[in-house]
Amino acid sequence: MTAALFYIMGLAMLGFGVAVITSRNPVNSAMSLVLLLAAMSGLFVLLGAFFLAAVQVLVYAGAIMVVFLFVIMFLGPDEGVRRRLHWFGAINGLLVVVALLYAFFTLAGKQPPMIGAEGRAGTVESLGRLLFSKYLLPFEVASVLLLVAIVGAVVLARKDARSS
Amino acid sequence: MVNHAADIVVHWVQAGMATPWLVWLVITLMKCGAVVGVMMGMVAYTVLAERRFCAFIQDRLGPNRVGPFGLLQPVADGMKLFLKENVLPGHVNKVYYVLAPAITLFPALATIAVIPFGNRLGGEKMVIADLNVGILWVFSLAALGVYGIVLAGWASNSKYPFIGGVRSAAQLISYELAMGLSVIGVFMLAGSLNLGQVVEYQSHCWLVLKQPLGFLIFMVAMFAETNRTPFDLPEGEQELAAGYNTEYGSMKFALFFMGEYANMVVASAVMVTLFFGGWQVPFIPVEQWLGCSWLSGMVYIGCFLAKLAAFLFLFIWVRWTLPRFRYDQLMNLGWKVLLPLGLLNILLTALVLAGQR
């Protein structure tokens, strides 16, 4: 059952991923990305990471992608734009694929280290405890990083408003 | 009849014909059927109640011709919408135009699964899915509901629906933050994200008494999330015709309509569960009087439905009493008032909890 669900979700992710980069209509791309994120949260559920699964849908699919869609709809880019192959992008993509394949094949035989209390790794309690004890510093650093990003966004938006 | 059905299941298990997995499947399917049936019935009759109460508020009678007191009006409405011609305008994006109404109704039907609507009935918990991240499930699906409206506005390829869809997206994203922040106080007190445990926590004192500010923010945010007056700018009749659903007709329009009322039912259910004790009956020790029986289980479900109906009435009452906000007022309220108040609520709750240690 779990294996079957894993293959269904995995294939769905691959399919939607291809649809994101190949579809001509940007709205189709955005909606494929939403479905990809939903399938990915399904994978998190299979791993027992319920909190991560819920937050994945809430933050990425529910908030960030809505803003993406918002911008796409407002700008209404042309569907008929001819696609050119950028050599820089193609080489970079190829390098990433090779690196990922290498990582996959070297790590495939090894058991990943389990984090958190055994059997309860995905629950909100164990996640919260770890975030506020063992991983407090990285957690706070990430918060500061987000704060900087928010302040930066406000500054950019204000500058725009003054000049116009 | 419920007893009879339970006897059949028990007999079935004793005869060794059913594995626990099969029993679980049958019981879950029964719960799903009952919940969706009751919910759709409530949606139909909330529409009627809305039309009748708005008429009373405006000193009219409302639809009172079909059946006694107009009680068969929803049946007539449903028949009419089913029999209407299914028009597909030529200028729309067909895939998203057809999908959008379904996407609008889906989150409401899926979120009701984690709401505990009763204590126990014959040893079986009265909730379809007892998730340990219950409220996050509700929020994440509610966040997906916006796609239905945005896509409807865009796929209609027409300016009023488009403006309605864009307004709706901006509004829903703004009020989601206030909604999320306002309930953190609840979970700090209850110590769990599981809605069943939040209800258990309220057996002595409803959380609305301990979290009045949180409840107020949450209720305002819920009105905004369900696109109800005073936050119904996405479908403001005066400036946008009917907003995002202007280009829709027949059952596709009916799905939007049902989605709006189903979202109201879910919003009411969440408010009852988080702040008004869920299925608990106040002041009356039901289990001492009736024992742990089918009857007391039904009393709890009845109590939950009664509280739900009270909130649905509040939604209707507010809609026909308050005027609509201006758009800048709406944004100011969401970002400059509700968001800071939500943070303040978390801080106050944390200080009180720290003081009690």
Contacts of A58 in chain B (CB under 8 A): 136, 139-140, 143
Q: Tell me, what's the pLDDT at A116?
A: 47
Higher pLDDT, B96 or A140: A140
B290 touches B296 (CB < 8 A) = yes
| Residue whose entry in the numeric block shows the structure tokens 């996050």 | B136
Asked if residue B276 is part of any domain, the answer here is yes
Q: Compute the residue count for chain A.
A: 164
Identity of the amino acid at B355: G
B234 touches B167 (CB < 8 A) = yes
| Residue whose entry in the numeric block shows the structure tokens 């050599």 | A87
Asked if residue B58 is part of any domain, the answer here is no
Triad A154, A71, B227: Cα angle to 5°: 90
Structure-block tokens of residue B331 = 């944004």
**Is the pLDDT score of A96 beyond 90?**
yes
Q: Compute the residue count for chain B.
A: 357
CA–centroid distance for B231 within its chain:
16
pLDDT block averages, 10 residues each, chain B of length 357 = 63 66 83 88 89 88 82 86 82 83 87 84 76 83 84 83 83 86 88 83 83 90 84 71 76 85 90 87 76 78 90 89 84 89 92 87
Domain range for B119 is 77-356
Q: How many domains does chain B fold into? A: 1
Structure-block tokens of residue B254 = 């009916």
Structure-block tokens of residue B177 = 């933050």
Asked if residue B43 is part of any domain, the answer here is no
- Strand, helix or coil for residue A153: helix
Closest CA to A51 of B139, B181, B132: B132
Say how far apart CA A163 and CA A149 lie, in whole Å.
22
| Residue whose entry in the numeric block shows the structure tokens 């990003």 | A149
**Is the pLDDT score of A25 beyond 90?**
no
Asked if residue B22 is part of any domain, the answer here is no
| Residue whose entry in the numeric block shows the structure tokens 């090779």 | A98
Identity of the amino acid at B171: Q
Tell me the per-residue pLDDT of A111-133, one tens digit each, with 9 for 90 and over.
665 554 445 555 777 778 888 88
Please give the model's pTM, rounded to 2 decimal places.
0.83
CA distances from B326 to A112, A115, B167, B236 (A): 54, 50, 12, 11
Calculate mean pLDDT across residues A9-21.
90
Asked if residue B133 is part of any domain, the answer here is yes
Say how far apart CA B67 and CA A26 lie, in whole Å.
51
CA distances from A123 to A131, A135, B188 (A): 12, 16, 16
Contacts of B173 in chain A (CB under 8 A): 63, 66-67
Asked if residue B228 is part of any domain, the answer here is yes
Q: Tell me, what's the pLDDT at A52?
A: 84
Q: Tell me, what's the pLDDT at A141?
A: 94
CB contact under 8 A, B162 and A58: no
Tell me the per-residue pLDDT of A53-89, one tens digit each, with 9 for 90 and over.
888 888 888 888 888 888 888 777 666 555 666 788 8
Higher pLDDT, A98 or B234: A98
Contacts of B193 in chain A (CB under 8 A): 124
- Residue B124 φ/ψ, nearest 5 degrees: -100, 130
Nearest chain A residue (CA) to B149: A66
Asked if residue B265 is part of any domain, the answer here is yes
The DSSP bridge partners found for residue B121 are: B124
Asked if residue B96 is part of any domain, the answer here is yes
DSSP B88-144: --TTS-HHHHHHHHHHHHHHHHHHGGG---SSEETTEES-S---TTHHHHHHHHHHH
Q: Tell me, what's the pLDDT at A145?
A: 95
Contacts of A51 in chain B (CB under 8 A): 133, 136
B180 touches A59 (CB < 8 A) = no
CA distance A95 to chain B (A): 35
Calculate mean pLDDT across residues A126-153.
89
Burial pattern B134-151, b for ≥16 Cβ within 10 A else e, equals: bbbbbbbbbbbbbbbbbb
Which of A24, A44, A65, A70 is most worth mutating to test chain B (most B CB atoms within 10 A of its CB)?
Answer: A70
Which of B140, B162, B166, B175 is most worth mutating to test chain A (most A CB atoms within 10 A of its CB)?
Answer: B140
